[in-house]
Amino acid sequence: MKRMKNNIKFGISAMLAIMMLVSMVFVPVAGATNQNTENMLISDMLTYVDIEEVYQSVNTYISKHPKATEEQVNQYTLKQIRKSYAKSESNIGILTQSGESVDLTPEEEKLFEEDPWKGTKALFCGGLALVEMRRVFGEGGVDNHIDAFRHAYWNALMVKYIDYSWADRWATAHEEGSNGLSAEMDLWNNNEGRLIASNHPDDSDYELSGKVMNALNAGVLRKIENDELVPTP
C-alpha cells in the first residue's frame, strides 16, 4: 500500500513537472511572436493586410467613438493592421477590392507612418479606383486612356474620403522614382481628378466616376501616344 501511494505521488509530481515544462516552452514563444510583430514596420505588413477589412473596422470604431482623438484613431488603425497581418496565412497581398498587393514608395511609407488612418484610406481609394476601372472598361492599361481614368478617379476619391492636401501629398509621393512622360501624365491626371472632386464635394463615388469619364471624353485628361503626351480619349 505504501509503495502504491509513493507511485501515485511520483506520478502526480511527474505530471505537474511536465505541465510546468509545457507552459515554459509555449508561453515565451507567443510572447516572442507578439514582440516581433510590434517591432516590424507597418509598411512591411501591408502586403499581407486586408485593407478593406481594416478600413471598415476603423470606420466602425469611429462611429462608436465619435469623440475619439486623431491619435486614438491612428492607434486603433495600427492595431487593426497588426491584427489583419497576424491572421494572414498567405504570402500574397490581399487588397480585397482589387486583388492587388500593396507596394509603397519610400515617401509613401513616410506618409503612412505619419498618419496610418489617412494612409489606409488612400490605399482603400486605390482599390476602389481599380474596381471601378474594371467595371467601366473591363480591362486595364498603362499610359493609355484607361490608366488616365484610374489615376484621376483615384485622386478624386482621396479628396472625398480624406482631403485635397493629403491626396496631393500621397499621389505625388506615389510617383517617387518615376520620370519622363509617364510621370508627367500621371501627375497631370492626378491633379485633374483632385480638381473634379474639390469642385463637386457632395458627389457620390458613382457621380465622381461619371465626371471623370466626362473629363476623359472631353480631352481634359492626358495619355501617351507615339511618345507624346496628348489629350484623351
Averaged over 94-109, what is the pLDDT?
68
Tell which residue, 107, 127, 106, 105, has the closest CA to residue 53.
127
170 and 61 part of one domain: yes
Q: How far apart are CA 196 and CA 209, in angstroms?
A: 10
Place of cell 477589412: 53
Averaged over 178-205, what is the pLDDT?
96
227 and 131 part of one domain: yes
30 and 105 part of one domain: no
- Helix axis angle for 116-137 and 145-161, nearest 10°, is 140
31 and 120 part of one domain: no
If you average pLDDT over every residue of the chain, what do you get? 83
Averaged over 107-123, what is the pLDDT?
95
63 and 30 part of one domain: no
Q: How far apart are CA 176 and CA 162, in angstroms?
A: 21
Q: What is the pTM of this model?
A: 0.79
In this predicted structure, which of 44-53, 63-72, 166-175 has the lowest mean pLDDT?
44-53
- CA-only gyration radius of the chain, Å: 25
pLDDT above 70 as % of the chain? 78
What is the pLDDT, as a whole number, of residue 15?
39
Q: Range of 9's domain?
A: 1-39
Q: How far apart are CA 115 and CA 204, in angstroms?
A: 25
30 and 117 part of one domain: no
Q: How many domains, in total, are found in the chain? A: 2
Tell which residue, 140, 163, 138, has the closest CA to residue 151.
140
- Residue 221 phi/psi, 5° resolution? -85, 175
Quick: pLDDT tens for 195-214: 999 999 999 999 999 999 99
Q: Which three cell numbers stand for residue 82?
A: 497588426
Torsion of the alpha carbons at 199, 200, 201 and 206, rounded to the nearest 10: -140
85 and 174 part of one domain: yes
- Helix axis angle for 70-87 and 51-64, nearest 10°, is 140
168 and 101 part of one domain: yes
34 and 91 part of one domain: no
CA 86 remoteness from chain centre: 16
In this predicted structure, which of 30-34, 80-84, 112-116 has the lowest mean pLDDT?
30-34
Q: How far apart are CA 187 and CA 3, in angstroms?
A: 87
46 and 17 part of one domain: no
Q: How far apart are CA 85 and CA 39, in angstroms?
A: 13
Q: What three-state secondary structure class fits 229? A: strand
Q: How far apart are CA 107 and CA 219, in angstroms?
A: 31
